[in-house]
Structure 1
């Protein structure tokens, strides 16, 4: 009887796998046909495919440690964090809904008094900082001025050039402009490589780097971030991915030889903190 049950169980398992394989093939064929009919949807499919592939590449070829091993992660898992985030407003091709929620939860847990963001774009993450930080928190966000003229486009990747142009056009329409919590936000303008960060040295509890993604700028922004960092502060980098932002990936892997930097799963975030 036992052998008969084992044979039946093995047969059932094989049938289950074959059925799922058949379903997978059906889905692949149907999605291929759909993308042929709707070419724009192929871009969205490619985005999600490469995003998933990139997550595996972070683990297989990245030099960062796993955020899950930190005390900070354990603390965040130990209680309910009711962060405020609207995933329906997120621009998935800029900041994914899961990343917005992660950032909101991180700020909600850390309760920073000061936040500095390099790279404002449409102000979506900026507003999340304002909503999830204490009432007296000051949020500073730095971006290029509307009259900024590019001196050398070689310092910018294609996606950075697009963001620069969109950001300049949307300065007056940033999402926090009409929000009551916009009072917590101070807009700063300038090229982050030339900007004078000295008034903020040693004072920032959370620093978010999401500006120019070239190696030169990421290195410069990171150097300034370390100088601005408060004793218990954290630095968060966006776009730790090889496929689109190879320079960020290479620089952070290099920096990891000197500092303990952690990759946050299912996001393109990397994080550093002396006491995390």
Structure 2
């Protein structure tokens, strides 16, 4: 799909990858609803983009995991630009490290990292089927293909996000619905350093694991790769190509991979002490 003249919604658009995606989409000729739980951040990103691309975006405060809020974003897009062509389920949360994560921690991670995707698809896919076209882009993580040292809530919810994106692709891919799943490793955003700032050994180890596993990319670099992948209608978007080899190694000998991850975690924890 070419994004020029298309209408997109980007959640988590107030910073990081979401802001970069909104910027890249507008530069490519799309019209974008920039949504974020932090309304001021969404409005600031929208204003910055519109300064270079007049009337290309509208900013909005919204909880990406709330069905009524998603409905509001769809209505806002239709009011300003027309029917939604692309939905970027990009909002995400890290979650607490270890088994000390509370019921509330689990609820939040599953709501934002998974259920937000499901709820958006439930609203948009029927419309897209009627129109014969639509594009759903899920921001998961390399943790959704591999794992995440530290946060069980993040690892589990991102695995589930990958699984849901796969299911959407298989179920509707022959009916005009395109689906891509973004699975980066380290990206220079606040989310990357949240574990380190938590003060928890597992949290610090998680940040160190991602930073040491490969190059930390800038959000704009990731956004460029995403748009190239959308043009190619490619399902798995891997800004860090080495993730594919890691994924293959995991599948080739699961027990060996688990032993290696335990050794890696032990080394990281020793470094944080």
Q: TM-score, normalised by structure 1?
A: 0.41
Query: Radius of gyration: which is bigger?
Result: 1
- Between structures 1 and 2, the one with greater helix share: 2
Larger RCO, structures 1/2 (Cα 8 Å, 6+ apart): 1
Q: TM-score, normalised by structure 2?
A: 0.41
